[in-house]
Amino acid sequence: MTVSLTDPGFQWHRLYRQQWLLVAPLVLFMGLFFVLPVLMLLGTSLNKPAVGVIELQPVLTLENFARIFARSTYYSAAIRSVVLALTVSLVTLVVAYPMAYLIAKTKNVARTTFLTILVLVAMQLDMVIRLYGMMVILGDNGLINQILILIGLITEPVALMYNFLGVVFGLVQFAMPFMILSLVGVIRGIDPNLEEAARSLGASRWSSFFRITLPMSMPGVLAGTLLVFALSISSYIVPALMGGFKVSVMPIHIYQQVSEMARFQFGSAVAVVLLVISLAAVAFYVRAGVKKSGGLA
């Protein structure tokens, strides 16, 4: 039996193969630089602790994970990392939503472009430079404390850095553009006729927002909060600079175990725990997103 080159089935099969060729570079890249490192990380975490040894060993053990949950320092850091990421996600959402709404609803092209540039400019600066700028503002002798003392609201500087609050400030500033960009596209895609119809039926501006705009923008809210959560829970540089190593989170412990103590097996175990927490958050957000979109979870 011969197959004609003009046969629809042959053409579909050919197109299917061409589509896979387009995806192949990404699959290869992800497999080589994500899946393989994660598998090696998991294998290293199951090896016996040995200072300075990084090679994979055939002997497997759960000793490293048992040490994490046997010491309050590490599981407290895990809880603190989750609380920090949730706090930053919520604060960033509350602060970013009005800006995203303004950008999405502004019909003046020049104004929209200007607001978008303001958001993108923050992403162009190096993170360390941005954090040092915040340290100048939030320090004991920084701009905020000087203003508060000058107007008489406080008599001594308020600790805005080297604590949990300082890390939240730094992470919110870092994650704000990602949240705004996640929300703008979704809000812009909402049909304005729906809000106008609600207003014509007697709904107030706030009522139409909470009943129509906010529920329909939930995909952007979920995507933005998931992105901010992932960035916050895995951040090392912000807790290191804004927290002064006083805010103990999982990335700090990973860096200390691997770079300072050369305990690669235990550091890998801490990293695996952090990865599991992040994957659990992704699963939760996906489940919530399916429910919000009316699907089955």
pLDDT at 206 over 60: yes
**C-alpha 166, offset from chain centre:** 18
Residues 113-161 have pLDDT tens digits of 898 888 888 888 888 888 988 998 998 888 899 999 999 888 889 999 9
Contacts of 275 (CB under 8 A, 6+ apart): 38, 41
Compute the average pLDDT of residues 65-83.
91
- Domain assignment present for 43: no
Compute the average pLDDT of residues 98-115.
90
Higher pLDDT, 223 or 18: 223
- Domain assignment present for 32: no
Q: How many helices and strands in the chain, by DSSP H and E? A: 15, 0
pLDDT of res. 1: 47
Burial class of 88 by CB neighbour count within 10 A (0 to 12, 13 to 18, 19+): buried
- Domain assignment present for 231: yes
Contacts of 221 (CB under 8 A, 6+ apart): 93, 97, 183, 186
Compute the average pLDDT of residues 182-187.
93
pLDDT at 10 over 60: no
Six-digit token string for 148: 């508060």
- Kindly report the pTM of this predicted structure: 0.86
Distance CA 80, CA 87 (A): 10
Six-digit token string for 253: 């412990």
Determine how many CB atoms are found less than 10 A away from the CB of residue 293. Answer: 11
Give the chain's mean pLDDT.
Answer: 87
Using an 8 Å Cβ cutoff, are 24 and 250 in contact?
A: no
Residues 150-168 have pLDDT tens digits of 998 888 899 999 999 999 9
Distance CA 136, CA 53 (A): 41
- Domain assignment present for 24: no
Q: How many CA atoms lie within 13 A of 200 on its CB side?
A: 6
Which candidate, 191, 25, 12, places its Cα nearest to that of 105? Answer: 191
Which phi-psi region, left, alpha or beta, contains residue 262 (left: φ > 0; alpha: ψ -120 to 50)? left
Give the confidence band of 24 by pLDDT, cuts at 50, 70, 90. Answer: confident
Compute the average pLDDT of residues 276-281.
90
pLDDT at 295 over 90: no
- The backbone torsions φ and ψ at residue 265, rounded to the nearest 5 degrees and listed phi first, read -65, -45
- The backbone torsions φ and ψ at residue 151, rounded to the nearest 5 degrees and listed phi first, read -90, 0
- Domain assignment present for 72: yes
- Domain assignment present for 20: no
- Percentage, residues of the chain above pLDDT 90: 47
* Residue for token pair 């604590």: 163
Q: Write the CATH number for 67.
A: 1.10.3720.10
pLDDT of res. 181: 93
pLDDT of res. 103: 93
pLDDT at 20 over 80: no
Burial class of 147 by CB neighbour count within 10 A (0 to 12, 13 to 18, 19+): exposed
Distance CA 155, CA 140 (A): 12
Q: How many CA atoms lie within 13 A of 261 on its CB side?
A: 14
Compute the average pLDDT of residues 78-98.
95
Query: Hey, is 245 helix, strand or coil?
Result: coil
Domain of 245 in residue numbering reads as 57-292
Q: Residue 261 is which amino acid?
A: M
pLDDT of res. 128: 87
- Domain assignment present for 249: yes
pLDDT of res. 242: 93
Determine how many CB atoms are found less than 10 A away from the CB of residue 193. Answer: 8
- Domain assignment present for 122: yes
CA distance between the termini of the chain: 46
pLDDT of res. 3: 45
Q: How many domains does the chain have?
A: 1
pLDDT at 293 over 60: no
Give the confidence band of 16 by pLDDT, cuts at 50, 70, 90. Answer: low
